Structure 1
Amino acid sequence: MLTFFSLVAATLCVSASDSTVELTTFNAGVLAGVPLWRERMPFLLSELPNSTADVLCLQEFWLETDQLAVVNATSDAFPYHVRLETHPSATPPCDATPLQAGLVCVQTRCPSNDSVDQILCALLEENCRSELRAMGQRCLNCLVLGSPNTGLLNDPLSCAVDTGVSYSTTNGLLLLSKIPLSNTVADGYNIATGEIDIYARGYLSAEVENLGTVVCTHLPTPNADRLDAPYFGPVEFNSIEEQQNAYIQQLMNRYSSKSPLFLMGDFNHGPAIGDTVAAEFPQVYQNVLDQGFVSPAETRVGLCTSCLDNSLKSTGSANVFIDHVYVQSQHASNVVDAKRLYEAVLPIGVPLSDHYGISVTYGIPVAEDPIEEWKTAFTAWKDAFREWQKNEEEC
């Protein structure tokens, strides 16, 4: 026969239910170096509002006009967002004098029909280091990314001409959320260290209600055969790997006290997975793990995110897993699922991007209202007492 106290103990075991939050990272590849970038934009604007993600970290929407288009298209589905406000200006991004000097240097020392390859040569081979630095970040962005109408510019001098077009490029990042955000940050690594990059690198962050802190970023990319070439900037890096580690350390210095903490984005590093996925800067990946993180998709998905079977992939010679939703190791047991996204081929014959997306579903214990919890407990106590009385009367 159950005692009164055992009945009370049994009925007071009220367990909290779990809610889940889906965190997704996706490099959209909206820049002239990725094929069909303008043709894919309408499909992105149609697809992103239908995302099942609760928090969505997007990379490579470099132009201000494209970022605003995404924000407008997704505003109903994702009412909260963070991005780097760049205050568009019709003032040409390049001053004619340093631009002319830089172009003469680049064309002389780095002859090529590909303007991106020319800038990479000058930037990473130290051929025109001082001339490129004199151009400034905004000018470099224009040379590589171009204007909304021309994309990768065939005529670099147009970056110094007032065409009436609103020149404005960004760090390429957008953080969208269905959940309220607070304490938002939009910052650049170059702001902290004084570097100049081909593409301005940075990060976004926010406190997500009832979840924790989310950071959205995009680390520098390896450049084909120039993996170990010196980096261009006042702070000298001996390799892209060293540069990535420095940026990871900046994030750790700023956010290590936050918990739970999630790092999302295209990190351009990752582990080898079996025989099908090659490692990309595995030492940097291990560094992130050593800082107390896991990338759940490594084991739960085990597939590449930048893949040779993607018809938009124009660089690289291997399948690599470089897009991550990092979760702190101490909270890894709360991960419910992980999956790869945006694999389907569009009617124009290509996927949404040259990267596939990664989604991680994270379970959040829901704290119960203490008053409601006591009401439930009191009702359970009354029921237990009546049951005990009934059993005593029968005895």
Structure 2
Amino acid sequence: MRTAWLRSAKLLCALALLACSGDKSRARESTSAPEGGVAPQAEAPVEARESAEPKPAAPFRVATYNGGLAMGVLKYVDERAEPLINALAEQPVDLLCVQEFWLEEHWQKLVAATSGNLPRTFRLPPGHEDGGCTRQETDPLVACAAQSCAGLTQHALLPCLLQSCASKLTSLSPDCFNCLSANPRKGPDELARACLRAQTKSAAGARPPARAGGAAAVEVYSGASGTAVLTNAEILERDSLILPSAIDRRAVLYTRLSPPSVGELHVFCTHLTANMEGVPHPRNTSWQKDQSAQIDALLAYVDQKTDGRGATLLLGDLNTGPAIAPSISARLPAHYNRLLARGFVNPYASQEDAKCTYCFDNPLDGGKGTRGLLIDHVLLRGFEGDASGAQIMRSNLTFEAGKKKVKSGFSDHYGLLVTLSRRDS
């Protein structure tokens, strides 16, 4: 969870995040159907019919994975991205819900790498791309960064700015914040110049859309949610819900699928706000209340789309989870229990071999500690069949960074795969 607060803190700092443009890889779905019916088949010999046994339907494999590709927040994004995407593309999955694929370049590489097995995709475009600052806003921030954070790299810059320049960040207007948070590869002075230019160019143009109630949207990564769905199943319906959030765009992606092996599924893919202890909330409330409001909206949306019927999957980094002895600590367990109280079950958490998905010994997060959190989930409701879970993307990788060899996790999270199988009737 330490990287969770860094992640949204980076959002707060406005220097870590970038725009993700719309889904350019629309579903490559087959819509052709035979005309004129099916040609009659010759009847098989009785002996053949009696000896033939029906083949069991193939299981449907569902996975969630937080890639941790938060440029400017987590270390080694450039070094991790390509091996991460290649390894993820090799996983035996039929439905994948990903989080923290913030940058368009990473998303397009994932689409290309998985196009053979997961050709249908769903991802929201960013909420906005414009914005601008006044010199009265940028000059104090740039001066503070130069004095207190000079020479720091991207992943070290955020904690410094939060500690030394927090008042300069929180005083930015939404338009300025959105612009400054659009490019994670630039430093404060470069961003300030770019956003002043952007203001000049768009002074007579339209501003980013306001939120309900008239307040301008404060969203990092130019309003990208970082969340997407990839699948090889037929997508019957797509929809989405933007969740209430303080500084970043949180969304629920809904797809209604029809995999032949398990029947129709209602799928909800999301990434809820973390409880960022120690990070000031920009609206003088709490991150815990933000997540609670998101769960309220999420559960209402699930009921709206399903009408309480049908097999339903809720998956993603939910930033809440149970305590499981001996080594998994709870994270906002009351929120997690609210999901169970609405009929969801967690097949992986009930297994004896359940492990943390956000683990304190992950080398990307310092590699210290023996405990962790189980906050990445595939929850089921109304599914009449068997389900078993296993972790994916748990191995480490080694690469060269500068002049040193680095051992790292692919992400600060491990992935989770749940295999669904219909019971014989």
User: Could you tell me the TM-score, scaled by structure 2's length?
Assistant: 0.67
Q: Tell me the distance in 2 between the aligned counterparts of 1:277 and 1:79.
A: 35
Instruction: Decide which structure has the larger Cα Rg and report it.
Output: 1
Match in the other structure for 2:397: 346
* RMSD (Å) for aligned C-alpha atoms: 3.7
Give the conservation status (yes or no) of the 8 Å contact 1:63–1:168.
Answer: no
Other structure's SS at 1:274 match: coil
State the alpha-carbon separation in 2 of the partners of residues 189 and 116 from structure 1: 25
- Equivalents in 2 of 1:274, 1:152: separation in Å? 44
8 Å CA contact 1:267–1:324 kept in 2: the answer is yes
- Structure 2 equivalent of residue 205 of structure 1: 254
CA distance in 2, matches of 1:111, 1:63: 28
Counterparts of 1:120 and 1:201 in 2: how far apart (Å)?
22
1:24 matched to 2:63: yes
Q: Give the partner amino acid of 1:179.
A: A
2:126 alignment partner in structure 1: 86
Partner SS state of residue 181, structure 2: helix
Aligned-pair identity (%): 24
Q: Match for residue 117 of structure 1?
A: 159
Which residue of 2 is the match for residue 176 of structure 1? 230
Query: Which residue, out of 319, 325, 338, partners 1:268?
Result: 319
Instruction: Report the Cα distance in structure 2 between the residues aligned to 1:71 and 1:175, rounded to whole angstroms.
Output: 10
Structure 2 residue matching 1:294: 3-state secondary structure: coil
C-alpha distance in 2 between matches for 1:74 and 1:247: 30
What are structure 1's unaligned runs of at least 5 residues?
A: 1-10, 368-395
Matches within 5 A, 1:2-21: 18-21=57-60
**Equivalences, count:** 330
- How far apart are residue 319 of structure 1 and its match? 1.0
Q: Are the aligned partners of 2:386 and 2:422 in contact in 1 as well (CA < 8 Å)? A: no
Secondary structure, in 3 states, of the residue corresponding to 1:298?
coil
Q: 1:360 to 1:106 in 2, by over 3 A?
A: farther
**1:220 counterpart letter in structure 2:** T
Corresponding residue of 1:393: none
Asked if the contact 2:121–2:228 (Cα under 8 Å) also holds between the matched residues in 1, the reply is: yes
Cα distance in 2 between the residues matched to 1:272 and 1:245:
19
1:293 aligned residue: 344
1:16 shift after superposition: 10
Identify unmatched segments of 5+ residues in structure 2.
Answer: 1-49, 199-220, 400-406
Instruction: Choose 253-262 or 275-284, whichever is displaced more.
Output: 253-262
In the aligned structure 2, how far is the partner of 1:214 from the partner of 1:152? 39
What is the CA distance between 1:351 and its match in structure 2? 2.5
CA distance in 1, matches of 2:268, 2:136: 36
Q: Letter of the aligned partner of 1:116 in structure 2?
A: L
2:43 is aligned to none
Pairing partner for 1:243 from 287, 290, 294:
290
Shift of residue 169, structure 1, vs aligned partner:
5.9
TM-score, length-normalised on structure 1? 0.72
Q: Who is 2:300 aligned against? A: 253
Whole-angstrom distance in 1 between the partners of 2:302 and 2:81: 33
Partner of 1:232: 282
8 Å Cα contact 1:26-1:358 kept in structure 2: yes
